[in-house]
Structure 1
Amino acid sequence: MKDPRNVLVIATRQIGDVLLTAPLIAAARQRWPDASIDVLGFAGTLGMLKGNPDIRGFVEVPSGSGWRAAWPFVRRLWRRYDLALITQQSDRAHLYGWVAARVRSGLVPGRAAISWWKRCLLTHAVRIDDETTPTVVEKLKLLEPWRALPPEVNVAAPPEVALPLDLDALLGDAPIVVHVPSMWRYKQWPIAKYIEFVGELLARGHQVVLTGSKSETDQAQIAEVRALGSPPQVIDVSGQLNLNQVGTLLRRAALYVGPDTSITHLAAACGTPVVALFGPTNPIRWGPWPQGHAASSPYLRAQPRQSSRRVILLQAEQACVACGHAGCEDHHHSRSLCLEALPVQRVLDECLAELRMRPGKDQREGDLGASRLK
């Protein structure tokens, strides 16, 4: 194949997975510096990549619509690109790739019986490995016919955008960002534990900033934690910032604490010290990517505490961790006993130890940012 002039990256999943396509896009730009690179994804999910200098434009498609409704869009997409990089295994992603480009490299399920037709449509196929290959590295393997894996991998965070003036005035020197909500219950550290954890931080004089969306579910999960204090000790910015502004907030934070969710990946990409709370999810696949790590797994599947660069990943000490299922009952609304078993004290101890290690700051517990809160 001649060097492509137009490349389409297909990322039809949620915002966290979209962010993890950034290393693939950067690698494609390095391989083909003169190519135009577009990203196709569902409407409302591409914000993590907006402002990325390696991207020319975005192609938004409606999620959940049938092919009849999508037909006008499909006609416009027909063979507009020289190469499609398909970062999802879904039927729809592969059909979009077939429509868009003559040359296609894509991810396919491990079971040949359900992926044969997708392999037939591809010039290069990457078999999904749900056990031992990080998602970031798996996406980079889509470029194997044209370049080797890079020696180190970075996830480009969205560029900074100024915070609202009223929020900027309230922020102390060392805010701690806490992300309480999870989209699915099986990834949720219990709200009662968040209440106890944030209460301990406030008792030590730390400023806590709560993030999340404006959805009814997120607001219900945040409400009891928000009630622990008032600004400036507790600031709730949930639903008030775009992703670029959330990135600005995270870059100013002394620490971020959150579950297996998209904002946790964003915090790691921003270079913020992260304490990630993992339950049944396999961290080899989905652990927050430590900036500059080699193209290999930063984590083991199960370890009570793992640390890589600026990311600390905590798991419960149970034999079933990490099972890889959607909780104990294997559905989105299942409870996860492993998350329920993760003690507040362990999380608190990790956070306080990380805060004491901040360079150039007073290391006495409770002094960080306290002067701005009085």
Structure 2
Amino acid sequence: MRSVLVVVTRQIGDVLLTTPLVHAARERWPEAAIDVLGFAGTLGMLRGNPDVRTLIEVPARPGLRATWALARRLWRRYDLALVADPGDRAHLIGWVAARERSGLLPAESGSNWWKRKLLRHGVTIGGDQGETHVVPEKMELLAAWGGGTGAPQLVGPAGDPLPAPLASRLAPGYVVVHTPSMWVYKQWPEEHFRKLIALLALAGRQVVLTGGPGAGDRATVAAMEGAAPPEQLLDAGLLSFNQVATLLRGAALYIGPDTSVSHLAAACGTPVLAIFGPTNPRRWAPWPGGEQPVRFERRRPAQTIGQVTLLQAPLPCVPCGRAGCEDHRDSRADCLPAILPERVAAKALELLDTAHGA
């Protein structure tokens, strides 16, 4: 293969979880030009990735003219397309772009019949209740060409310097806490985050808050004001993914919900404490570094693999694999308030003490 296109028209976290596939393709074809196509605003995690030649950003909802222009630009430009998304549009892009194609397929879909006809190799995904993590599932796209060599490894973005005012205030051993979630059903309560921050500060730790530029993220971060003394609570402000990577690599610990930044922290090798609610960790847990086998349990109050620790509520419905109790993005998720801040703080301080002792 002289040229490979990886199609990942999903959210930011999904893009990062595709980096082991990209890296395995690079190892399989060291001389190939590997490009990644995704929606505008989602490919920031890949800037500076040594395995990628070009990032191709496309609109999430293109008009007819933009679609035609993209088709002309991509037509049979690549030897192989790895379609790391089961959606119809991703498969059509793969067919336009490459002579051979390998792609993910949903377990049940009325469009699977024509998608299979377009593929040399298809991988049926497990869905949110599945037993296979999405990282090795994506790696299966290379099975028809011998597969990857070695354990899957996330590749985090290259680091950029932090803003000087922030860098000058960071204290050794700081803890990064990411308070916002994209969806309501994944949001740990703000009052729980405030209590957690207060307990970390009481133990002598400086907490650095991260969040995106959206109004919801900014409001959630602002709600933490006053949870700890000013010198022990910093708002990192608006950072690029490359700057966030630098911040994470210098942290003693990262704490956050089921969100893309938690995956980024794991990719950066930072010790991660992830707060999981309805989501199935066997499929969506942050992927740890190292060579150890990775198989998270579906339900366990606390579990650790590598540098990643997960906390879940001890409720019989966990994980339901749904979008909260009402199964929509603005739904409540009763399992998240059940994870008390005192429990998260105790586990965080245990991890920090263990790391310091090591």
Higher deviation after alignment, 195-204 or 67-76: 67-76
1:286 counterpart residue number: 284
Q: Distance in 2 between matches of 1:184 and 1:112?
A: 25
1:321 counterpart residue number: 318
Match of 1:53 among 40, 50, 55: 50
C-alpha displacement of 1:229? 4.1
Code of the residue aligned with 1:225 in structure 2: it is: M
C-alpha displacement of 1:360? 6.3
C-alpha displacement of 1:355? 1.1
1:354 counterpart residue number: 351
1:307 aligns with 2:304: yes
Does the 8 Å CA contact 1:210/1:226 hold for their aligned counterparts? no
2:59 counterpart residue number: 62
1:175 counterpart residue number: 174
Does the 8 Å CA contact 2:88/2:111 hold for their aligned counterparts? no
What secondary structure does 1:58 align onto?
strand
Does the 8 Å CA contact 2:294/2:305 hold for their aligned counterparts? no
1:79 aligns with 2:76: yes
Code of the residue aligned with 1:91 in structure 2: it is: D
Match of 1:126 among 119, 123, 128: 123
Does the 8 Å CA contact 1:290/1:298 hold for their aligned counterparts? no
Code of the residue aligned with 2:348 in structure 1: it is: C
Q: Distance in 1 between matches of 2:148 and 2:124?
A: 16
Match of 2:242 among 244, 250, 256: 244
What secondary structure does 1:85 align onto?
strand
Does the 8 Å CA contact 1:281/1:322 hold for their aligned counterparts? yes
Q: Distance in 2 between matches of 1:324 and 1:90?
A: 20
C-alpha displacement of 1:69? 3.0
1:366 counterpart residue number: none
What secondary structure does 2:231 align onto?
coil
Match of 1:23 among 5, 20, 23: 20
Matches within 5 A, 1:72-111: 72-111=69-108
C-alpha displacement of 1:231? 4.2
1:372 counterpart residue number: none
1:268 counterpart residue number: 266
Deviations 1:314-338 (A, max 9, x none): 0000000001000000000000001
Higher deviation after alignment, 215-224 or 105-114: 105-114
Q: Distance in 2 between matches of 1:275 and 1:350?
A: 8
What secondary structure does 1:357 align onto?
helix
Q: Distance in 1 between matches of 2:54 and 2:65?
A: 25
Deviations 1:211-235 (A, max 9, x none): 0112111111111213324643111
1:228 counterpart residue number: 227
What secondary structure does 2:224 align onto?
helix
Match of 2:254 among 248, 253, 256: 256
1:13 aligns with 2:13: no
Q: 1:279 to 1:309 in 2, by over 3 A?
A: same
Q: Distance in 2 between matches of 1:188 and 1:84?
A: 35
What secondary structure does 2:289 align onto?
coil
Q: 1:360 to 1:348 in 2, by over 3 A?
A: closer
C-alpha displacement of 1:74? 1.4
Code of the residue aligned with 1:270 in structure 2: it is: C
Does the 8 Å CA contact 1:23/1:140 hold for their aligned counterparts? yes
Q: Distance in 1 between matches of 2:294 and 2:203?
A: 36
Does the 8 Å CA contact 2:176/2:253 hold for their aligned counterparts? yes
How many percent identity over aligned positions?
A: 53
Q: Distance in 2 between matches of 1:201 and 1:359?
A: 15
Q: Gaps (5+ residues) in structure 2? A: none
Q: Distance in 2 between matches of 1:292 and 1:279?
A: 26
Does the 8 Å CA contact 1:247/1:267 hold for their aligned counterparts? yes
Matches within 5 A, 1:35-50: 35-50=32-47
1:298 counterpart residue number: 295
Q: Distance in 2 between matches of 1:134 and 1:119?
A: 22
Q: Distance in 1 between matches of 2:255 and 2:317?
A: 23
Code of the residue aligned with 1:142 in structure 2: it is: L
What secondary structure does 2:310 align onto?
strand
Superposed structure 1 runs of 4+ greater than 4 Å apart:
none
Does the 8 Å CA contact 2:132/2:283 hold for their aligned counterparts? yes
Aligned residues between the structures:
356
Does the 8 Å CA contact 2:28/2:148 hold for their aligned counterparts? no
Code of the residue aligned with 2:71 in structure 1: it is: V
Higher deviation after alignment, 143-152 or 336-345: 143-152
